[in-house]
Structure 1
């Protein structure tokens, strides 16, 4: 059964009880990374293995994301600044215990490529907050793997 989460804005990124931040430099340009992350939503499963399906709605203002483990999110885009930032909040999910969840992808130039930073900001029941804190190393591994896969995918596209 779906659960509605309380709506929050971008300010929640700094105020969340649990805030996990991961970053990695990739060879892709900021424009290439932004396009793959924010505009080609359906390609998310190609480079982020935890994602089973991602579908944009309402001209890109909303999206549905289904994870491999069966969790589903209905999301509203909060920020979409080309080549810089893409952020969204979860409005509805089948995951129990969540109160608020906002994610931000920040892209900045770095060397000949860019730095991709993923911020995962969440409020949940006390046991779930502890779970996310304990799961931080695993989420970091998942992010680094996704960033590496994204970079390889974009390199293949550049080579064409």
Structure 2
């Protein structure tokens, strides 16, 4: 049973999707930054329990599947200040420690708020001349009446994603 149903909150199902959705979704955002840490260190931070605690817009991230994580892993997310709750399922999980390449992607299975048809994230880590290159992609499709506002969602969501990028770079600069 997922965290949304356990909390007796309304659960709005979202649609699953494949990796190509990160390129074709009505609302997308992607940023790619160099981090001053090894690919293994970055991956470890991105896949630990309570990850993303450095992001101001995220209240909590909890893996709800036992380690080791992989395809089928689930987790719950709560966005700050706590009004939005998501149940996520990973459909891609690739780790190649010898090459320093890592990738995972999830889609949201359920949200406690209406208005989303599909939402997910793709994270990729690879070696760079110094440290690693981290690429984070977001894909969103709004539902119902909200879908008509998709063309306005990119500029609005860009500010939110800029905060995530700033917080992430700041976090990794402390290593």
Superposition TM-score tier, normalisation by shorter sequence: 0.7 to 0.9
Which residue number corresponds to residue 11 of structure 1? 20
Question: What TM-score do the two structures reach when normalised by structure 2?
Answer: 0.78
Higher radius of gyration, 1 or 2: 2
What is the distance in 1 between the residues matched to 2:49 and 2:156?
25
- Alignment counterpart, residue 139 of structure 1, candidates 147, 160, 169: 160
Which residue number corresponds to residue 53 of structure 1? 60
- Alignment counterpart, residue 66 of structure 1, candidates 51, 75, 78: 78
For residues 115-136 of structure 1, what are the alpha-carbon distances to aligned partners after superposition, in whole Å with 9 as ceiling and x for unaligned? 1111111111324523431224
- Alignment counterpart, residue 171 of structure 2, candidates 138, 145, 150: 150
- Alignment counterpart, residue 25 of structure 1, candidates 30, 34, 40: 34
RMSD (Å) for aligned C-alpha atoms: 1.8
2:94 counterpart of 1:81: yes
1:65 alignment partner, SS class:
strand
1:42 alignment partner, SS class:
coil
What is the distance in 2 between the residues matched to 1:8 and 1:62?
15
Contiguous gaps of at least 5 residues in structure 1:
156-160
Contiguous gaps of at least 5 residues in structure 2:
1-9, 96-100
Q: Please identify runs of 4+ aligned residues in structure 1 that moved more than 6 A.
A: none
Which residue number corresponds to residue 42 of structure 1? 50
What is the distance in 2 between the residues matched to 1:150 and 1:19?
24
Q: Deviation of residue 65 (structure 1)?
A: 0.4
Alpha-carbon distance change, 43 to 18 in structure 1, aligned in 2, over 3 angstroms: closer
Which residue number corresponds to residue 115 of structure 2? 97
Aligned pairs, number:
152
Question: What TM-score do the two structures reach when normalised by structure 1?
Answer: 0.85
Which residue number corresponds to residue 158 of structure 1? none
CA contact (8 A) 2:126 2:132 kept: yes
CA contact (8 A) 2:35 2:173 kept: no
Which structure is higher in helix share?
1
What is the distance in 2 between the residues matched to 1:67 and 1:17?
22
